[in-house]
Amino acid sequence: MRRRELSAICTTEKEDQRLAECAFRDGSFLPSWPATLATHGRSCGHSRRIPGLHTPLIFPRHRTAMARLLLVFALLVFSGCSSQSPSASDNLPRDTLERFEMAAAYAKVHAGDALVVWKEGDIVLERAQNGYDLDDPHYLASGTKSFAGVAALAAVADGFLSLDERVGETISAWQDDPKKSEITVRQLLHLTSGLDPGEAGGAPTFDKALRAPMLDAPGTTFRYGPTAFQVFGALLQRKLDGEDPLHYYERRLFEPIGVEVGGWARVDGEDPQLAGGARLTARDWLRFGRLLLSEGRWNGEQVLPAGLLDALMAPTPASPGYGLTVWLNAAVRPEAPFFEHAPRTLQPDGPDGMIYDEGPSDLFMAAGLFNQRLYVVPSREMVVVRFGRADAAWNDAEFLARLLDGRAYEASTQGRRPLDKRVELITTVHLRQLDAAVGLTEAQERALHPIVEKQIRGLAKMRGAREQSDSLRRQERRRRLRTLRRLRRRTDRAIEAELTAEQVDAYRSFRHEQRDRWHKAWREQR
**Using an 8 Å Cβ cutoff, are 248 and 160 in contact?**
no
- Residues 67 and 43 placed together within one structural domain of the fold: yes
More confident residue, 20 or 252: 252
CA–CA gap between residue 491 and residue 39 (Å, rounded): 49
Please report whether residue 412 resides in a domain: no
Domain boundary among 70, 91, 112: 91
Please report whether residue 116 resides in a domain: no
**Using an 8 Å Cβ cutoff, are 206 and 177 in contact?**
no
Please report whether residue 229 resides in a domain: yes
What is the pLDDT at residue 68?
46
- Hey, is 22 helix, strand or coil? strand
Helix (DSSP H) and strand (DSSP E) numbers for the chain: 16, 17
Please report whether residue 410 resides in a domain: no
- Residues 401 and 424 placed together within one structural domain of the fold: no
Range 226-264 burial, b when 16+ CB lie within 10 A, else e: bbbbbbbbbbbbebeeeeebbebbbebbbebbebebbeb
More confident residue, 285 or 454: 285
- Residues 386 and 490 placed together within one structural domain of the fold: no
Q: The domain containing residue 493 runs over which residues?
A: 420-525
Q: In which element (H, E) is residue 368 found?
A: strand 364-368
Mean per-residue pLDDT for 52-80? 39
Please report whether residue 119 resides in a domain: no
- Residues 349 and 302 placed together within one structural domain of the fold: yes
Residues whose CB falls within 8 Å of the CB of residue 90, separated by 6 or more in sequence, listed in order: 32, 35, 36, 39
The CA–CA distances, whole Å, from 521 to 243, 509, 526 equal: 48, 19, 9
Total count of residues recorded for the chain: 526
- Residues 399 and 434 placed together within one structural domain of the fold: no
pLDDT beyond 60 at 62: no
Mean per-residue pLDDT for 190-208? 92
- Residues 358 and 274 placed together within one structural domain of the fold: yes
pLDDT beyond 80 at 39: no
- Residues 255 and 300 placed together within one structural domain of the fold: yes
Please report whether residue 124 resides in a domain: no
Mean per-residue pLDDT for 126-142? 96
Domain boundary among 75, 91, 107: 91
- Residues 354 and 241 placed together within one structural domain of the fold: yes
More confident residue, 178 or 201: 178
- Hey, is 395 helix, strand or coil? coil
CA–CA gap between residue 520 and residue 526 (Å, rounded): 10
- Residues 250 and 160 placed together within one structural domain of the fold: yes
- Residues 248 and 343 placed together within one structural domain of the fold: yes
What is the pLDDT at residue 208?
97
What is the pLDDT at residue 167?
98
Gyration radius of the chain over CA positions:
27
CATH of the domain at 284: 3.40.710.10
The CA–CA distances, whole Å, from 230 to 3, 153, 197, 214, 276 equal: 61, 17, 10, 15, 10
pLDDT beyond 80 at 97: yes
Please report whether residue 457 resides in a domain: yes
Query: How does DSSP assign 87-128, residue by residue?
Result: PGGGGS-HHHHHHHHHHHHHHHHTTEEEEEEEETTEEEEEEE
Give the count of domains, the chain: 3
Q: How confident is the model at residue 14 (pLDDT cuts 50, 70, 90)?
A: very low
What is the pLDDT at residue 447?
81
- Residues 342 and 209 placed together within one structural domain of the fold: yes
Give the pTM: 0.66
Please report whether residue 411 resides in a domain: no
3-state secondary structure 315-356: CECCECCECCCCEECCCCCCCCCCHHHCCCCCCCCCCCCCCC
**Using an 8 Å Cβ cutoff, are 253 and 259 in contact?**
yes
Q: Which of 117-126, 127-136, 225-234, 310-319 has the lowest mean pLDDT?
A: 310-319
Domain boundary among 57, 91, 125: 91
E strand intervals along 129-250:
138-139
- Residues 292 and 339 placed together within one structural domain of the fold: yes
